[in-house]
Amino acid sequence: MSDFAGMEDLLQDFLQEAGDLLSDVDNKLVDLERSPEDVRLLNDIFRGFHTIKGGAGFLNAAELVRLCHLTENLFDKLRNGEKELTPALMDTIMAATQGVRQMFGEIAQGRQPAPAAAEVTADLQSALTAAADAGAPSRAAAEPAEVKPAGAPAAAGSGEQGPDWQALHAVFSGQAGASVPAVAGETSATDGSRQAGEIEVSQLQPHFPPEGRRSTDRPGAAASAAPSGRRADERAAARETTIRVDTARLDQVLNLSGEIGLTKNRLTSLRADILAGRTDSETLQALDQAVSQLDLLVSDLQNSVMKTRMQPIGRLFQKYPRIARDLARQLGKDVELALIGEETEVDKTMIEDLADPLIHLIRNAVDHGVESPDERRAAGKQAKSVIRLEARQEGDHIVLMIADDGRGMSPERIRAKAVEKHIISEEEANTLDDRQSLNLIFLPGFSTMAKASAVSGRGVGMDVVKTNIQKLNGSIEIRSEPGKGSVFVISLPLTLAILPVLLVLLGDQPFALPLSLVREILPIDHERMQEVGGRETLVVRGEILPVIALARLLGWPQLRRPEFGVLMQTAERSFILAVDNFAGRDDAVIKALDDFRPRGVAGVTTLSNGQIVLILDMKELLSDLAANGERDARAPAPRALELLV
């Protein structure tokens, strides 16, 4: 049963706005640690906690109000010069913001938040008490009074009272000023008529007649008897599927839709003329112009609709400075995370899926990549290390870079560690070049640390990075120089809705290959093919590449010798895919197979002639090949694929 029954929409508005505010506060706290005398930052952070407290007061989230109130009072003393910001005090503030975020999670599940950790509350009150002992106002200002339910009477004879809905709307619409009537007992620093710690939510007065409300309109009232609405997991799912779109983009979509409607009417008129026997050159020319205009408008509409899914990646980046700062302080390192290209726009679905890989890469850079201040000084470097998180668009791809100026990685050491852990054999290690050696860190279970810590060392994080990037049809590349640092370069398609593909033929059946994996197309000269280790290979510009027939990969009978090859490259290997012929290039609109997806199939698309084509998941097919051997890998695939073709 939800504690906020009947208020789901209002609750989601609060969580969205307050979540954005808290993320902004986190970033400004990191900046404040570098510039503790910046009054503008102190004021902005104070206002952030003040606004969150106001919204929480309307929702009767008493514990969230208490925690925000304590933190707000502390920042009031900081900005008034009554207290100095120290590293220990910053740790206390960071712990408070983490407590606020945890309370947001509880509210999102429809529960009133539990009290903040006793240690956090005690540290905040201790900091405020110390300021009071130094000549600040009395400790009463640091201890908020009990928050009374919105439906409880403030005093005898005062009658039933409820939230101030107009003021609450002002909070969410950004119209609230520095003083929001979320807390009736709150006073400014110059108002000494009332203690600053008094919080009386019950004194909030409505601006409409009481008989105009239902009892279920108040949080904490008799709403428990009413249906609780959507379950917590359903509400979370609904929140994840929402997106903010600039109204100018929606206006463009609307205008294009209107233009398409006019063109459709023109085509309908021309169709009637042709059916009536008018097939003169003037009519045919008008038809050609109308079709060309429709093609242009549909293309523009497609691009405009795709842009509505695009979001600035800065919304994802903004939470990482806090993560890097906390981990660096935990490890005794001095690290600055520099964000570049925050305005770069990425598909919203991709932003959500990038969160985990980027967290792993940043934590890995702080833990493994950069040295301690003493080690950096000994190496002639600045004590503070800089990790760069950069995003930019290159053509139809998004490029992300995570670069550090740390110790770098040694390919020789990585090869030796992989052999020591029995991940690869010594013979395999001797055949690897530096690029392939660096890619060994993506293998499950690989770690260069002798002992696992609470942060890393279990050989899981980088495997997660590679897996998630591959799910996005992307690639990741490592560049590293010992003593200079490492750079991880992630290349991703601009959107997941449209996938550039190469159409290949196996007999008369077309298949689609992701174009991002294709390096080049070449003819197969069977006289030049050689067997190495029992497998067919070709030498391309001095590089020995295995030849894998698409028919054998899918488990289909090979009726003739393939005449063409597609040189493909994944993060781990390069190979030649042998096919019968090509049908061209296309921009495929991917249709997912939700109910039935054979292994090795990423989705389906439809060609201009109406034919359905399978989009192959080459990484999945190759993983079967590597796990079971080429002979066994083709056994499970044919039955699934034949059902679709």
Q: Within a domain: residue 238?
A: no
Q: Within a domain: residue 204?
A: yes
- CATH number, position 428: 3.30.565.10
Each residue of 31-84: pLDDT tens digit? 888 888 888 999 999 999 999 988 888 888 889 999 999 999 999 888 888 888
Say yes or no: 285 and 413 in one domain.
Answer: no
Burial (CB count within 10 angstroms: exposed 0-12, middle 13-18, buried 19+), residue 242: exposed
Tokens read off for 602: 């990423």
The kind and range of the H/E element at 578 are strand 574-579
* Res 611 pLDDT > 70: yes
- Which has the higher per-residue pLDDT, 384 or 130? 384
DSSP 90-137: HHHHHHHHHHHHHHHHHHHTT-PPPPPPHHHHHHHHHHHHHHHHTTSS
Backbone phi, psi, residue 469, to 5°: -65, -40
Span of 207-221, 376-390, 492-506 with lowest mean pLDDT = 207-221
The angle at the Cα of 103, spanning 239 to 26, to the nearest 5 degrees, equals: 85
Say yes or no: 329 and 452 in one domain.
Answer: yes
Residue corresponding to tokens 């073709």:
645
Q: Within a domain: residue 151?
A: yes
Buried b (16+ CB within 10 A) or exposed e, 141-178: bbbbeebbebbeebeeeeeebbbbbebbebbbeeebee
* Res 251 pLDDT > 60: yes
Say yes or no: 539 and 555 in one domain.
Answer: yes
Taking all residues of the chain, what is their mean pLDDT, rounded to a whole number? 77
Span of 283-292, 542-551, 592-601 with lowest mean pLDDT = 592-601
Tokens read off for 580: 């019968």
Backbone phi, psi, residue 534, to 5°: 80, 10
Return the SS3 of 181.
Answer: coil
Say yes or no: 27 and 156 in one domain.
Answer: yes
Predicted confidence band at 166 (pLDDT cuts at 50, 70, 90)?
low
Say yes or no: 285 and 417 in one domain.
Answer: no
CA 287 to each of CA 30, 290, 291, 594, 609: distance values in angstroms, whole numbers, following the listed order: 62, 5, 6, 40, 21
* Res 24 pLDDT > 70: yes
Say yes or no: 77 and 147 in one domain.
Answer: yes
Say yes or no: 75 and 97 in one domain.
Answer: yes
pTM for the full model?
Answer: 0.65
Among residues 289, 308, 327, which one ends one of the domains? 308
Say yes or no: 186 and 60 in one domain.
Answer: yes
Say yes or no: 206 and 316 in one domain.
Answer: no
Say yes or no: 156 and 274 in one domain.
Answer: no
Say yes or no: 473 and 559 in one domain.
Answer: no
Each residue of 331-346: pLDDT tens digit? 999 999 999 999 999 8
Among residues 269, 287, 308, which one ends one of the domains? 308
Predicted confidence band at 152 (pLDDT cuts at 50, 70, 90)?
very low
How much is the pLDDT for 571?
59
Give me the number of domains the chain comprises: 4
* Res 257 pLDDT > 90: yes
Q: Within a domain: residue 240?
A: no
Predicted confidence band at 480 (pLDDT cuts at 50, 70, 90)?
very high
Among residues 198, 231, 264, which one ends one of the domains? 231
Q: Within a domain: residue 2?
A: no
* Res 147 pLDDT > 90: no
Strands ordered across the beta sheet of 475-481: 335-340, 385-394, 397-404, 485-493, 475-481
% pLDDT > 90, the chain: 24
How much is the pLDDT for 452?
53
Say yes or no: 552 and 635 in one domain.
Answer: yes
Each residue of 73-108: pLDDT tens digit? 999 888 888 888 888 898 899 999 999 999 998 888
Rounded mean pLDDT, 615-643: 56
Contact 26, 321 (CB under 8 A): yes
- CATH number, position 48: 1.20.120.160
Structural domain boundaries, residue 622: 498-644
- Which has the higher per-residue pLDDT, 587 or 489? 489
Rounded mean pLDDT, 394-421: 89
Q: Within a domain: residue 3?
A: no
